[in-house]
Amino acid sequence: MNIQLTKKAVEKVLQFMEAQSESQHLRLSVSGQTAKEYLYQFLLDQEVKESDILVPQESFSVLIQKDDQEKLHGATIDWIESVSGSGFHVENPNKPTNNLDSPIAIKVQEILDQDINPGVASHGGHIELLDVIDGRAYVKMSGGCQGCGSAQATLKGGVEQRIKQLVPEIQEVVDTTDHASGSNPYYSS
């Protein structure tokens, strides 16, 4: 298993471990995915489980679940600090597989591009198709839609109804958006 940590990332992990004297490992897991990349979770941990792979570093080990091994092989972990925040950043050569080239996904994408996004763009928003799995279209809302008090009403009352009307194979549209981190919602509740 090949995972690299930059010097900055190692320093930050050691700082966190020093503040929490019991931790001996950095646990890295894949917590989800978008259409283009995996999402990650970082935790300090003492316990090594049977389902873990231990990736030794100089001063500590990284724990990865066996299920995530292929998704993380060859990844580089860095620590980034910027005006918009700081945190671990994973540069990963592995990308998630999705169904965006299926006929159903192509139909849903056309509806988003032609019917829905022009309307939500007037409120500074955008809706991105992430995947289509088992009759569900997974979307992410951004811009004015992220954190908007009317986002769920727009999604269920407008977006989902239009997609289900034109693509009967879709039974549900699932919003994967982190609305709590929206920085410029069109309408705040």
Q: Is 14 in the same domain as 40?
A: yes
pLDDT digits (tens, 9 = 90+) for 50-76: 999 999 988 899 999 999 999 999 999
- Average pLDDT on 103-123 reads 90
Q: Is 73 in the same domain as 109?
A: no
- Average pLDDT on 70-99 reads 89
Q: Is 71 in the same domain as 132?
A: no
Q: Is 43 in the same domain as 72?
A: yes
Among 91, 120, 145, the domain-final residue is: 91
- Average pLDDT on 108-116 reads 92
Q: Is residue 48 part of a domain?
A: yes
34's tokens: 């978008």
Q: Which domain holds residue 87?
A: 3-91
Q: Is residue 43 part of a domain?
A: yes
Q: Is 72 in the same domain as 128?
A: no
- Average pLDDT on 99-116 reads 90
Q: Is 17 in the same domain as 37?
A: yes
Q: Is 87 in the same domain as 156?
A: no
Judged by DSSP in three states, 170 sits in coil
Rounded CA separation 151/96 (Å): 27
Instruction: Supply the pLDDT for residue 166.
Output: 95
Instruction: Supply the pLDDT for residue 151.
Output: 81
Q: Is 10 in the same domain as 86?
A: yes
Among 91, 124, 150, the domain-final residue is: 91
Q: State which amino acid sits at residue 177.
A: T
- The CATH number assigned to the domain holding 162 equals 3.30.300.130
Among 91, 113, 131, the domain-final residue is: 91
Instruction: Supply the pLDDT for residue 187.
Output: 53
Would you list the DSSP string of 82-149? ETTEEEEEEE-S------TTSHHHHHHHHHIIIIIHHHHHTTTEEEEEEEEETTEEEEEEEETTTT-T
- The CATH number assigned to the domain holding 84 equals 2.60.300.12
Instruction: Supply the pLDDT for residue 53.
Output: 94
Rounded CA separation 173/69 (Å): 30
What's the total number of domains in the chain? 2
Instruction: Supply the pLDDT for residue 83.
Output: 78
Q: Which of 79-83, 162-166, 183-187 has the lowest mean pLDDT?
A: 183-187
Evaluate whether 92 touches 40 at the Cβ level (below 8 Å).
Answer: no
Cα torsion through 26, 32, 35, 38, rounded to 10: 10
- 148 — pLDDT class (breaks 50, 70, 90): confident
Q: Kindly report the pTM of this predicted structure.
A: 0.60
